[in-house]
Amino acid sequence: MEKFDFLQFYSYLSYKSNKLHVNGFSIDELSCKEETPFFLFLLNRFQQNYEKMNAEISKHIPNILISYAVKANYLGRILDAANHVGMGLEVMSLFELKLAEKAKFQANKIIFNGPAKSEKELEYAIAFGITKINVDSLSELINIEKIAKDKGIIQPITIRIHPKLTEDTEKKLLIRKNSKLGIDYSRGVKLFEYSKKSPNLNPIGIHVHVGTNLTTHDFFEELLVFLSNYITELEDKLQVNIKEINLGGGLASNSTLEANGFSFDRFGEQISNHIKEIENKLIIFEPGRYLIEDSFIALTKVIRTKKSWGRKWAFTDIGANSLIPMRYTHYKILPANNKGKDQYTNIGGPLCLPVDVLTNEAVDFIIEEKDFLAVLNCGAYTISMSEQFGYPRPAIYELTENGTLKLLKAEDKLDQMIEAEFNYRK
Ligand SMILES: Cc1ncc(COP(=O)(O)O)c(C=O)c1O
Protein backbone atom coordinates (compact mmCIF):
# COMPACT_ATOMS: atom_id res chain seq x y z
CA MET A 1 0.00 0.00 0.00
CA GLU A 2 1.16 3.51 -0.84
CA LYS A 3 2.95 5.14 2.16
CA PHE A 4 3.10 8.90 1.35
CA ASP A 5 6.23 9.66 3.43
CA PHE A 6 5.63 13.43 3.35
CA LEU A 7 2.55 12.98 5.58
CA GLN A 8 4.83 13.15 8.64
CA PHE A 9 5.09 16.94 8.05
CA TYR A 10 1.31 17.43 8.10
CA SER A 11 0.31 16.67 11.68
CA TYR A 12 -3.39 17.17 10.83
CA LEU A 13 -3.47 14.36 8.23
CA SER A 14 -3.52 10.59 8.70
CA TYR A 15 -4.76 7.45 6.99
CA LYS A 16 -7.04 5.24 9.07
CA SER A 17 -8.15 2.01 7.37
CA ASN A 18 -6.93 3.56 4.08
CA LYS A 19 -9.23 6.57 4.46
CA LEU A 20 -7.57 9.97 4.61
CA HIS A 21 -8.55 12.00 7.70
CA VAL A 22 -8.03 15.68 8.41
CA ASN A 23 -8.11 16.69 12.09
CA GLY A 24 -9.67 13.25 12.64
CA PHE A 25 -12.49 13.63 10.06
CA SER A 26 -12.75 11.52 6.92
CA ILE A 27 -12.11 13.42 3.67
CA ASP A 28 -14.48 11.08 1.83
CA GLU A 29 -17.28 12.02 4.20
CA LEU A 30 -16.46 15.75 4.17
CA SER A 31 -16.40 15.73 0.35
CA CYS A 32 -19.98 14.41 0.28
CA LYS A 33 -21.27 17.18 2.57
CA GLU A 34 -21.02 19.96 -0.04
CA GLU A 35 -20.66 20.10 -3.78
CA THR A 36 -17.03 19.80 -4.90
CA PRO A 37 -14.72 21.48 -5.60
CA PHE A 38 -14.26 23.47 -2.40
CA PHE A 39 -11.47 24.77 -0.18
CA LEU A 40 -11.14 23.84 3.46
CA PHE A 41 -9.51 26.27 5.91
CA LEU A 42 -7.77 24.72 8.93
CA LEU A 43 -7.76 27.54 11.47
CA ASN A 44 -5.77 25.59 14.05
CA ARG A 45 -2.91 24.99 11.57
CA PHE A 46 -2.75 28.72 10.78
CA GLN A 47 -2.61 29.52 14.50
CA GLN A 48 0.00 26.83 15.18
CA ASN A 49 2.21 28.10 12.36
CA TYR A 50 2.13 31.57 13.90
CA GLU A 51 2.62 30.40 17.49
CA LYS A 52 5.62 28.26 16.56
CA MET A 53 7.40 31.10 14.73
CA ASN A 54 6.56 33.65 17.41
CA ALA A 55 7.60 31.46 20.35
CA GLU A 56 10.88 30.25 18.86
CA ILE A 57 12.11 33.60 17.55
CA SER A 58 11.03 35.45 20.71
CA LYS A 59 13.51 33.35 22.70
CA HIS A 60 16.27 35.43 21.10
CA ILE A 61 14.69 38.77 20.18
CA PRO A 62 12.72 40.93 22.64
CA ASN A 63 10.68 42.96 20.14
CA ILE A 64 9.20 41.24 17.11
CA LEU A 65 6.16 41.83 14.91
CA ILE A 66 4.96 39.02 12.66
CA SER A 67 2.79 40.65 10.02
CA TYR A 68 0.68 38.44 7.80
CA ALA A 69 1.03 39.27 4.07
CA VAL A 70 -2.58 39.87 3.01
CA LYS A 71 -1.88 39.22 -0.67
CA ALA A 72 -1.28 35.53 0.08
CA ASN A 73 -4.97 35.06 0.97
CA TYR A 74 -7.23 37.88 2.13
CA LEU A 75 -10.30 36.07 3.50
CA GLY A 76 -11.90 38.05 6.33
CA ARG A 77 -11.76 34.98 8.58
CA ILE A 78 -7.97 34.82 8.24
CA LEU A 79 -7.50 38.54 8.88
CA ASP A 80 -9.71 38.43 11.99
CA ALA A 81 -7.82 35.38 13.26
CA ALA A 82 -4.49 37.13 12.62
CA ASN A 83 -5.60 40.21 14.55
CA HIS A 84 -6.96 38.06 17.37
CA VAL A 85 -3.53 36.52 18.10
CA GLY A 86 -1.71 39.87 17.84
CA MET A 87 -0.19 39.70 14.37
CA GLY A 88 0.45 42.76 12.23
CA LEU A 89 -0.58 42.98 8.59
CA GLU A 90 1.35 43.63 5.39
CA VAL A 91 -0.70 45.37 2.65
CA MET A 92 0.10 46.50 -0.89
CA SER A 93 -2.92 48.51 -2.05
CA LEU A 94 -5.86 50.61 -0.92
CA PHE A 95 -8.07 47.52 -1.16
CA GLU A 96 -5.81 45.59 1.21
CA LEU A 97 -5.46 48.60 3.52
CA LYS A 98 -9.25 48.87 3.74
CA LEU A 99 -9.44 45.14 4.51
CA ALA A 100 -6.98 45.78 7.37
CA GLU A 101 -9.18 48.63 8.56
CA LYS A 102 -12.30 46.43 8.40
CA ALA A 103 -10.48 43.75 10.44
CA LYS A 104 -9.67 46.52 12.99
CA PHE A 105 -5.87 46.34 12.86
CA GLN A 106 -4.14 49.20 14.67
CA ALA A 107 -2.41 51.61 12.30
CA ASN A 108 1.00 50.97 13.90
CA LYS A 109 0.73 47.25 13.06
CA ILE A 110 0.09 47.78 9.35
CA ILE A 111 2.96 47.76 6.85
CA PHE A 112 2.38 49.38 3.47
CA ASN A 113 4.42 47.99 0.54
CA GLY A 114 4.36 48.35 -3.22
CA PRO A 115 6.54 49.72 -6.02
CA ALA A 116 4.03 52.30 -7.27
CA LYS A 117 1.70 53.43 -4.52
CA SER A 118 -0.52 56.17 -5.91
CA GLU A 119 -0.88 59.60 -4.31
CA LYS A 120 -4.46 58.67 -3.35
CA GLU A 121 -3.23 55.51 -1.59
CA LEU A 122 -0.46 57.39 0.21
CA GLU A 123 -2.82 60.14 1.35
CA TYR A 124 -5.24 57.56 2.72
CA ALA A 125 -2.48 55.61 4.48
CA ILE A 126 -0.96 58.73 6.06
CA ALA A 127 -4.36 60.03 7.19
CA PHE A 128 -5.00 56.57 8.68
CA GLY A 129 -1.80 56.94 10.72
CA ILE A 130 0.36 54.29 9.04
CA THR A 131 3.94 54.64 10.23
CA LYS A 132 5.46 51.69 8.39
CA ILE A 133 5.47 52.78 4.74
CA ASN A 134 8.22 50.97 2.86
CA VAL A 135 9.35 53.52 0.31
CA ASP A 136 10.35 52.09 -3.04
CA SER A 137 11.63 55.16 -4.95
CA LEU A 138 12.77 58.78 -4.66
CA SER A 139 9.63 59.87 -6.50
CA GLU A 140 7.46 58.22 -3.84
CA LEU A 141 9.57 59.71 -1.05
CA ILE A 142 9.08 63.22 -2.46
CA ASN A 143 5.34 62.59 -2.73
CA ILE A 144 5.16 61.46 0.91
CA GLU A 145 7.16 64.53 1.95
CA LYS A 146 4.67 66.79 0.13
CA ILE A 147 1.66 65.12 1.77
CA ALA A 148 3.34 65.37 5.20
CA LYS A 149 4.22 69.05 4.61
CA ASP A 150 0.63 69.87 3.61
CA LYS A 151 -0.58 68.20 6.78
CA GLY A 152 2.12 69.86 8.91
CA ILE A 153 3.43 66.53 10.23
CA ILE A 154 6.66 64.53 10.36
CA GLN A 155 5.97 61.22 8.61
CA PRO A 156 7.98 58.17 9.72
CA ILE A 157 9.15 56.10 6.75
CA THR A 158 11.13 52.94 6.10
CA ILE A 159 13.06 52.23 2.91
CA ARG A 160 12.95 49.01 0.90
CA ILE A 161 16.38 48.17 -0.44
CA HIS A 162 17.72 45.31 -2.49
CA PRO A 163 20.78 44.06 -0.57
CA LYS A 164 24.25 43.18 -1.84
CA LEU A 165 24.37 39.40 -2.19
CA THR A 166 26.68 37.00 -4.00
CA GLU A 167 25.90 36.17 -7.62
CA ASP A 168 25.27 32.60 -6.54
CA THR A 169 22.60 33.65 -4.04
CA GLU A 170 21.04 36.11 -6.49
CA LYS A 171 20.51 33.29 -9.00
CA LYS A 172 18.37 31.39 -6.51
CA LEU A 173 16.06 34.29 -5.66
CA LEU A 174 12.68 35.17 -7.10
CA ILE A 175 13.37 38.90 -6.69
CA ARG A 176 16.83 39.53 -8.12
CA LYS A 177 18.96 42.65 -8.13
CA ASN A 178 17.60 44.02 -11.41
CA SER A 179 13.95 43.43 -10.45
CA LYS A 180 11.38 46.21 -10.30
CA LEU A 181 11.01 45.85 -6.53
CA GLY A 182 12.92 47.92 -3.98
CA ILE A 183 15.91 50.13 -4.67
CA ASP A 184 19.54 49.10 -4.95
CA TYR A 185 21.39 49.41 -1.66
CA SER A 186 23.65 52.25 -2.79
CA ARG A 187 20.75 54.41 -4.03
CA GLY A 188 19.00 53.40 -0.81
CA VAL A 189 21.64 55.37 1.13
CA LYS A 190 20.69 58.47 -0.88
CA LEU A 191 17.03 58.02 0.08
CA PHE A 192 18.02 57.81 3.74
CA GLU A 193 20.17 60.92 3.31
CA TYR A 194 17.27 62.81 1.66
CA SER A 195 14.78 61.86 4.35
CA LYS A 196 17.21 62.63 7.15
CA LYS A 197 17.52 66.20 5.84
CA SER A 198 13.79 66.71 5.30
CA PRO A 199 11.83 68.50 8.07
CA ASN A 200 8.76 66.39 7.23
CA LEU A 201 10.28 62.90 7.03
CA ASN A 202 11.68 60.62 9.72
CA PRO A 203 13.57 57.57 8.42
CA ILE A 204 13.11 54.92 11.10
CA GLY A 205 13.69 51.63 9.39
CA ILE A 206 14.88 49.40 6.62
CA HIS A 207 13.06 46.71 4.64
CA VAL A 208 14.30 43.74 2.60
CA HIS A 209 12.15 41.17 0.80
CA VAL A 210 13.76 39.16 -1.96
CA GLY A 211 11.79 36.04 -2.66
CA THR A 212 9.54 33.26 -1.62
CA ASN A 213 9.82 29.64 -0.53
CA LEU A 214 13.20 30.18 1.17
CA THR A 215 14.33 27.17 3.19
CA THR A 216 17.97 27.74 4.19
CA HIS A 217 19.77 29.37 7.08
CA ASP A 218 22.69 30.16 4.75
CA PHE A 219 20.66 32.73 2.85
CA PHE A 220 19.72 34.59 6.06
CA GLU A 221 23.31 34.43 7.31
CA GLU A 222 24.50 36.23 4.18
CA LEU A 223 21.66 38.75 4.35
CA LEU A 224 22.22 39.51 8.04
CA VAL A 225 25.97 40.07 7.61
CA PHE A 226 25.18 42.60 4.88
CA LEU A 227 22.41 44.30 6.87
CA SER A 228 24.49 44.61 10.00
CA ASN A 229 27.25 46.50 8.11
CA TYR A 230 24.76 48.57 6.12
CA ILE A 231 22.91 49.69 9.26
CA THR A 232 26.15 50.55 11.04
CA GLU A 233 27.10 52.74 8.07
CA LEU A 234 23.71 54.49 8.08
CA GLU A 235 23.95 55.10 11.81
CA ASP A 236 27.60 56.22 11.83
CA LYS A 237 27.77 58.27 8.64
CA LEU A 238 24.24 59.71 8.40
CA GLN A 239 23.21 59.56 12.08
CA VAL A 240 20.05 57.74 10.99
CA ASN A 241 18.58 55.87 13.94
CA ILE A 242 17.34 52.52 12.60
CA LYS A 243 14.61 51.40 15.00
CA GLU A 244 12.85 48.90 12.74
CA ILE A 245 14.37 46.12 10.66
CA ASN A 246 11.88 44.41 8.37
CA LEU A 247 13.19 41.10 7.02
CA GLY A 248 10.20 40.66 4.70
CA GLY A 249 8.37 37.44 3.98
CA GLY A 250 9.65 34.69 1.76
CA LEU A 251 9.71 31.67 4.05
CA ALA A 252 8.47 28.35 2.73
CA SER A 253 5.45 26.73 4.39
CA ASN A 254 5.79 25.17 7.83
CA SER A 255 5.70 21.65 6.38
CA THR A 256 8.34 22.49 3.75
CA LEU A 257 10.59 24.15 6.36
CA GLU A 258 10.30 21.10 8.59
CA ALA A 259 11.11 18.79 5.70
CA ASN A 260 14.23 20.89 5.05
CA GLY A 261 15.36 21.02 8.68
CA PHE A 262 14.88 24.79 9.08
CA SER A 263 14.66 25.89 12.71
CA PHE A 264 13.11 29.16 13.96
CA ASP A 265 15.15 28.82 17.14
CA ARG A 266 18.31 28.99 15.06
CA PHE A 267 16.88 31.74 12.85
CA GLY A 268 16.19 33.90 15.94
CA GLU A 269 19.71 33.22 17.16
CA GLN A 270 21.17 34.20 13.78
CA ILE A 271 19.33 37.53 13.88
CA SER A 272 20.34 38.34 17.44
CA ASN A 273 23.98 37.45 16.66
CA HIS A 274 24.17 39.95 13.83
CA ILE A 275 21.94 42.88 14.77
CA LYS A 276 23.60 45.19 17.28
CA GLU A 277 21.59 46.65 20.18
CA ILE A 278 18.70 44.42 19.25
CA GLU A 279 16.89 45.29 22.49
CA ASN A 280 16.29 48.79 21.08
CA LYS A 281 14.99 47.58 17.74
CA LEU A 282 11.78 46.08 16.40
CA ILE A 283 12.34 43.12 14.08
CA ILE A 284 9.48 42.71 11.60
CA PHE A 285 8.57 39.69 9.47
CA GLU A 286 5.99 39.60 6.69
CA PRO A 287 5.23 35.92 6.05
CA GLY A 288 2.40 34.99 3.71
CA ARG A 289 3.16 31.54 2.35
CA TYR A 290 4.64 30.28 5.64
CA LEU A 291 1.47 31.01 7.59
CA ILE A 292 -1.20 30.04 5.10
CA GLU A 293 0.05 27.63 2.42
CA ASP A 294 -0.44 24.43 4.40
CA SER A 295 -3.51 25.72 6.29
CA PHE A 296 -5.77 24.91 3.33
CA ILE A 297 -6.82 21.75 1.51
CA ALA A 298 -8.86 21.65 -1.70
CA LEU A 299 -11.36 18.81 -2.06
CA THR A 300 -12.05 17.75 -5.60
CA LYS A 301 -13.77 14.94 -7.48
CA VAL A 302 -12.41 12.99 -10.45
CA ILE A 303 -14.77 13.66 -13.36
CA ARG A 304 -13.09 11.66 -16.14
CA THR A 305 -10.13 9.40 -16.76
CA LYS A 306 -8.55 8.50 -20.09
CA LYS A 307 -5.50 6.94 -21.70
CA SER A 308 -3.73 8.71 -24.52
CA TRP A 309 -0.23 8.30 -25.97
CA GLY A 310 0.44 5.60 -23.40
CA ARG A 311 -0.29 7.98 -20.53
CA LYS A 312 -3.09 7.80 -17.99
CA TRP A 313 -4.93 11.01 -17.16
CA ALA A 314 -7.40 11.83 -14.40
CA PHE A 315 -9.42 15.06 -14.66
CA THR A 316 -10.57 16.84 -11.52
CA ASP A 317 -13.37 19.36 -11.08
CA ILE A 318 -10.86 21.96 -9.82
CA GLY A 319 -8.44 23.60 -12.22
CA ALA A 320 -5.66 26.11 -12.69
CA ASN A 321 -8.11 29.03 -12.49
CA SER A 322 -8.08 28.57 -8.71
CA LEU A 323 -5.01 26.37 -8.22
CA ILE A 324 -2.77 28.89 -9.95
CA PRO A 325 0.34 27.28 -11.47
CA MET A 326 3.16 29.53 -10.23
CA ARG A 327 6.88 28.87 -10.15
CA TYR A 328 6.86 28.07 -6.45
CA THR A 329 3.64 26.11 -6.10
CA HIS A 330 3.93 22.49 -5.16
CA TYR A 331 0.45 21.09 -4.73
CA LYS A 332 0.45 17.53 -3.42
CA ILE A 333 -2.41 15.19 -4.20
CA LEU A 334 -3.69 12.42 -1.97
CA PRO A 335 -6.53 9.93 -2.48
CA ALA A 336 -9.41 10.25 0.00
CA ASN A 337 -9.61 6.47 -0.20
CA ASN A 338 -6.25 4.76 -0.72
CA LYS A 339 -6.89 1.78 -2.99
CA GLY A 340 -3.24 0.90 -3.62
CA LYS A 341 -0.65 1.35 -6.35
CA ASP A 342 -1.29 1.78 -10.05
CA GLN A 343 0.57 2.99 -13.14
CA TYR A 344 1.57 6.66 -13.03
CA THR A 345 -1.35 9.03 -13.62
CA ASN A 346 -1.18 12.69 -14.60
CA ILE A 347 -3.78 14.94 -13.04
CA GLY A 348 -5.37 17.77 -14.97
CA GLY A 349 -8.19 20.22 -14.31
CA PRO A 350 -11.28 20.71 -16.48
CA LEU A 351 -10.04 23.77 -18.40
CA CYS A 352 -9.47 23.51 -22.12
CA LEU A 353 -5.88 24.70 -21.68
CA PRO A 354 -2.67 22.64 -21.76
CA VAL A 355 -1.25 24.43 -18.68
CA ASP A 356 -4.14 23.21 -16.57
CA VAL A 357 -2.29 20.39 -14.84
CA LEU A 358 -2.43 20.28 -11.05
CA THR A 359 1.09 19.02 -10.52
CA ASN A 360 4.02 18.15 -12.72
CA GLU A 361 4.60 15.00 -10.67
CA ALA A 362 2.40 12.11 -11.77
CA VAL A 363 0.88 10.08 -8.92
CA ASP A 364 1.04 6.30 -8.66
CA PHE A 365 -2.08 5.40 -6.71
CA ILE A 366 -5.30 3.96 -8.14
CA ILE A 367 -7.64 6.70 -9.37
CA GLU A 368 -11.11 6.06 -10.69
CA GLU A 369 -13.93 8.32 -11.80
CA LYS A 370 -16.00 9.76 -8.89
CA ASP A 371 -13.06 9.36 -6.46
CA PHE A 372 -12.38 12.27 -4.15
CA LEU A 373 -8.87 13.72 -3.93
CA ALA A 374 -7.30 16.14 -1.45
CA VAL A 375 -4.95 18.81 -2.79
CA LEU A 376 -2.45 20.01 -0.16
CA ASN A 377 -0.43 23.26 0.01
CA CYS A 378 -3.11 25.34 -1.67
CA GLY A 379 -3.62 28.23 0.78
CA ALA A 380 -1.17 30.79 -0.62
CA TYR A 381 -1.64 32.81 -3.82
CA THR A 382 -4.56 30.65 -4.99
CA ILE A 383 -7.88 32.04 -3.72
CA SER A 384 -6.51 35.61 -3.80
CA MET A 385 -5.37 35.23 -7.42
CA SER A 386 -8.18 33.01 -8.70
CA GLU A 387 -10.06 33.74 -11.90
CA GLN A 388 -13.53 33.06 -13.24
CA PHE A 389 -12.01 31.43 -16.28
CA GLY A 390 -14.79 29.23 -17.66
CA TYR A 391 -15.98 28.22 -14.19
CA PRO A 392 -17.21 29.79 -10.94
CA ARG A 393 -14.60 30.18 -8.21
CA PRO A 394 -15.13 27.46 -5.55
CA ALA A 395 -16.67 27.92 -2.12
CA ILE A 396 -14.46 28.15 0.97
CA TYR A 397 -15.35 26.43 4.25
CA GLU A 398 -13.73 26.23 7.65
CA LEU A 399 -13.45 22.79 9.18
CA THR A 400 -14.80 23.32 12.70
CA GLU A 401 -13.68 21.41 15.79
CA ASN A 402 -16.73 19.14 15.62
CA GLY A 403 -16.24 18.31 11.94
CA THR A 404 -18.92 20.56 10.44
CA LEU A 405 -18.24 22.82 7.49
CA LYS A 406 -18.73 26.53 8.16
CA LEU A 407 -19.16 28.59 5.01
CA LEU A 408 -16.56 31.39 4.81
CA LYS A 409 -17.21 32.48 1.23
CA ALA A 410 -19.81 31.13 -1.19
CA GLU A 411 -18.89 29.91 -4.65
CA ASP A 412 -19.55 32.30 -7.52
CA LYS A 413 -23.08 32.01 -8.85
CA LEU A 414 -23.30 31.07 -12.52
CA ASP A 415 -26.39 33.27 -13.06
CA GLN A 416 -24.61 36.33 -11.67
CA MET A 417 -21.52 35.63 -13.74
CA ILE A 418 -23.64 35.54 -16.91
CA GLU A 419 -25.68 38.60 -15.90
CA ALA A 420 -22.51 40.65 -15.28
CA GLU A 421 -21.34 40.11 -18.85
CA PHE A 422 -24.63 41.48 -20.22
CA ASN A 423 -24.90 44.48 -17.89
CA TYR A 424 -24.22 46.76 -20.85
CA ARG A 425 -27.73 46.00 -22.16
CA LYS A 426 -29.29 47.81 -19.19
C1 LIG B 1 6.88 42.97 0.24
C2 LIG B 1 6.37 41.61 0.47
N3 LIG B 1 6.37 41.11 1.72
C4 LIG B 1 5.92 39.88 1.99
C5 LIG B 1 5.44 39.05 0.99
C6 LIG B 1 4.98 37.68 1.34
O7 LIG B 1 5.80 36.74 0.75
P8 LIG B 1 5.67 35.21 1.13
O9 LIG B 1 4.27 34.80 0.88
O10 LIG B 1 6.63 34.50 0.24
O11 LIG B 1 6.03 35.09 2.56
C12 LIG B 1 5.44 39.52 -0.33
C13 LIG B 1 4.97 38.66 -1.42
O14 LIG B 1 5.02 38.93 -2.57
C15 LIG B 1 5.92 40.83 -0.60
O16 LIG B 1 5.93 41.33 -1.84
User: pTM, whole model, 2 decimals?
Assistant: 0.96
Residue 138 pLDDT: 97
CA distance 23 to 51: 18
What is the tens place of the pLDDT at every residue in 131-166?
Answer: 999 999 999 999 999 999 999 999 999 999 999 999
Query: Which of ligand 1's atoms lies nearest the C-alpha of 287?
Result: 11
**Quick one: average pLDDT of 23-35?**
97
For the domain made up of 44-291, the CATH class stated in words is: alpha beta
In angstroms, the first-to-last Cα distance of the chain is 59
Q: Find all residues with CB under 8 Å of 118, minimum gap 6, and list them.
A: 94
Q: How far is the CA of 355 from the centre of ligand 1 (A)?
A: 25
Residue range 167-189: mean pLDDT, rounded = 91
Relative to the CA of 292, which ligand 1 atom is closest? Answer: 9
State the pLDDT confidence band at 178, using cuts at 50, 70 and 90. confident
Q: How far apart are CA 295 and CA 384, in angstroms?
A: 14
Q: Which atom, in ligand 1's list, is nearest to the CA of 72?
A: 9
Instruction: Tell me the CATH number for domain 5-43+293-421.
Output: 2.40.37.10
Residues of the chain with CATH 2.40.37.10: 5-43+293-421
Cβ of 191: how many Cβ atoms within 10 Å?
22
Pocket test for ligand 1, best of 89, 212, 326 (most atoms within 8 A of CB): 212
> Which ranges in the chain are annotated with CATH 3.20.20.10?
44-291
Q: 262-317, pLDDT tens digit by residue? A: 999 999 999 999 999 999 999 999 999 999 999 999 999 999 999 999 999 999 99
* Pocket lined around ligand 1, Cβ cut-off 6 Å: 69, 71-72, 90, 113, 209, 212, 248-251, 286-290, 380
DSSP H helices, 71-137, are: 76-84, 94-102, 119-128
Test site for ligand 1: of 71, 74, 247, 293, most ligand atoms within 8 A of the Cβ: 71
> Which atom of ligand 1 is least distant from the CA of 381?
9
User: pLDDT digit string (tens) for 49-86?
Assistant: 999 999 999 999 999 999 999 999 999 999 999 999 99
